Structure 1
Amino acid sequence: MKAKELIINAIRIAGDVILVNLAFLLAFKLRFIERITT
């Protein structure tokens, strides 16, 4: 594999991990807010 391909794959994986973490945090915050409001 070329260096560029490895870098692109690493960026894609990092981006996917970040998106999953953000989605998890958003879901957690929404649940927490719902618990406070109810």
Structure 2
Amino acid sequence: MKVYLQRYGVAGFLLVYWSLSFVNEYFLHKHPLSAESWK
């Protein structure tokens, strides 16, 4: 049970980390003008 929980805990952590980095890069590259327009 501990190995099962540990394996899926690491997989879930990597999935969340990858999705956050993907969204961060998407908004940084997709909307570069929106951040400058608020200055």
Tell me, yes or no, whether TM beats 0.5.
yes
- Counterpart pick for 1:29 among 26, 30, 38: 26
Identity level (%): 6
In structure 1, stretches of 5+ residues that fail to align are none
Given residue 12 of structure 1, which amino acid in structure 2 is its aligned partner? G
TM-score by length of 1: 0.77
Correspondence for 1:15: 12
The count of aligned residue pairs is: 33
Give the 4+ runs in structure 1 shifted more than 3 A. Answer: none
**TM-score, normalized by length of structure 2?**
0.75
Cα RMSD (Å): 0.8
Structure 2 gap ranges (5+): 34-39
